[in-house]
Structure 1
Amino acid sequence: MGASDETRYGNMRFNVDGTKPIQLGFTLFDKVGRTRGTWEVNFSDFDGTKDAKNEKSLDFLRRNGLDLKRIREEGIAISDFFGEFTQILKEEDKRVAWVTFDGSYDLAYLLQGLTGGKPMPETRKDFDQTVQRLLGQTYDVKQMAGLCEGLNSRFGLQRIADELQIKRAGEAHHAGSDSDLTARVFTIMSTRIARDQKRKRDQFQLDRERGYLAVKEVEHELMMERGYLAVKEVEHELMMKRGYIAVKEVEHELMMKRRMRKCYVPIQPPRPVMFAPYPSYGGGCFVVPVTWRSPNYV
């Protein structure tokens, strides 16, 4: 299991408070993101004969062409540089943003210089709040690499530059060269991330619209199915009503037939009948009972 954030910050705090920076490299951007020059500042404060140091780190710097003796003799004092630099920052727009590569130590030494060499804040949270208050917005290119398609936050600066086909100017591990390379990597990476995010937003919007249409299609299908079922229910109800009426009609007809058989069975007349003209109406027939002795009998 790796160390916690507070443990890592404690180690950084111990190292920064106990050592002195040797170089500072910074590159300026204009408002549209174009680089406008790179400066490498060499500090004369470090004395290899008495100051705390890491011999392996010093050997690494020497192998990469750093002339520590010349820096000691010709460099500028940290307090002198930051006295002027702090004044410049105060005169600039407060919306200045800072770009680093794996820049915790860079920001820590910068913070120490801007505060006149004061000890580092006690906790990581206090450190982050102080950085936000004094420096404002910061970007870490190493972390940004994790957001860029084809790159990885585990890559080093040179590996990322190679992947982006950016050629280094100057010697690696010199503050000025590293600053310039970081700035150019940041510019291209920002463009790629913005493009990738736009593509993802467009795809998300398209997927959402497709999903919306799919939902509407399902809703329409359900509505049509429900309408079909409703029609079927109405038809069934009508059919049941018609069947009920038909049954009732049949029942009524049967009932009438039964009544006719029961109540209206023809009865033979008790005596013969005959048709005879009925004088009152000038024609027509009227059925009247007659007897054998009736004068109307023919």
Structure 2
Amino acid sequence: MADILIIDVWADNVHKEFTRIRDVFQRYPYIAFDTEFPGFVHPSNSRAGAEIYYGHNKANVDSLKLIQVGLTFDDEFGSLPTNQYGQQIALQINLCDFDPSWDRYSMEAMNILRISGIDFEKNHTKGVTSQTLADSLASARLVSNPPVHWVTFHGTYDTAYLVKLLNSCTLLPDALSTFLSMVNRIFPNFYDAKHMVHHHYV
């Protein structure tokens, strides 16, 4: 597979990149997504019951802010959109809301993110606001649109953070059933590849 060019999205090019997305998303309606966030500040036990585990997830997502969102667009054959040079591209959207001098985080996660190349000061001063990203995803018709397929891998937290962002809310709903209704409304076609493999759907 050819190398993929990762395009960093900042406040000064977010509109340009989402204009590109609006032009191509009907040909590339499968969106793989991933998020980066500052770790976990509340204990979480995936072996607890569904309602309890959701409560653990909610406590963390409510307390923390997104740092980065990655989006990769594919067609049904796994091909990605290309730039003017024929390079396959994916987006890395850098958000500005997280301020490490004020907001909560896990030191272990922060160290890992720094090693991976995230510049927290640059994100905070030049990144995209969560509201701008939410508006851009909506205006590009990428959410609440059945022909668009959203794909993640072990994306419990990734999904929760995007639901929080797209609903412009500071807190997720208390009830798991309400949260799942929000997921179904925002992502009518949604797949978690880890869940599919675990249940032998692929």
State the TM bucket, normalised to the shorter chain.
0.5 to 0.7
How far did 1:34 drift? 2.7
Task: Compute the RMSD of aligned alpha carbons.
Answer: 2.3
Aligned residue type for 1:29: D
1:22-43 deviations in Å (ceiling 9; x for gaps): 0000111225543333100000
Aligned: 1:17 with 2:71: no
Q: Report the equivalent of 1:89.
A: 141
In the aligned structure 1, how far is the partner of 2:187 from the partner of 2:167?
Answer: 12
How far did 1:85 drift? 1.6
Looking at CA atoms only, which structure, 1 or 2, has the larger radius of gyration? 1
Change (3 A) 1:72 1:133: same
Contact 2:154 2:192 in 1 (8 A): yes
In the aligned structure 1, how far is the partner of 2:144 from the partner of 2:185?
Answer: 15
Which secondary structure state, in structure 2, belongs to the residue aligned with residue 35 of structure 1? coil
Higher-RCO chain (CA-CA 8 Å, sequence separation at least 6): 2
TM-score (norm. length: structure 2): 0.66
Identity rate of aligned residues, in percent? 29
How far did 1:143 drift? 2.0
How far did 1:134 drift? 1.6
In the aligned structure 2, how far is the partner of 1:64 from the partner of 1:32?
Answer: 30
In the aligned structure 2, how far is the partner of 1:131 from the partner of 1:92?
Answer: 9
Alignment of 1:68-217 (within 5 A): 68-89=120-141, 93-146=145-198, 193=202
Change (3 A) 1:86 1:118: farther
How far did 1:11 drift? 1.0
Higher percent of residues as helix: 1
Change (3 A) 1:87 1:94: same
Q: Can you give the 5+ residue segments of structure 1 that lack an aligned partner in the other structure?
A: 149-189, 194-298
Change (3 A) 1:91 1:127: closer
How far did 1:65 drift? 2.3
Contact 2:63 2:104 in 1 (8 A): yes
Q: Can you give the 5+ residue segments of structure 2 that lack an aligned partner in the other structure?
A: 1-44, 82-88
Q: Which runs of at least 4 in structure 1 moved beyond 4 Å after TM superposition?
A: 90-93
How far did 1:91 drift? 8.8
Higher percent of residues as strand: 2
- Residue-pair matches, total: 150
In the aligned structure 1, how far is the partner of 2:76 from the partner of 2:194?
Answer: 23
In the aligned structure 1, how far is the partner of 2:142 from the partner of 2:153?
Answer: 24
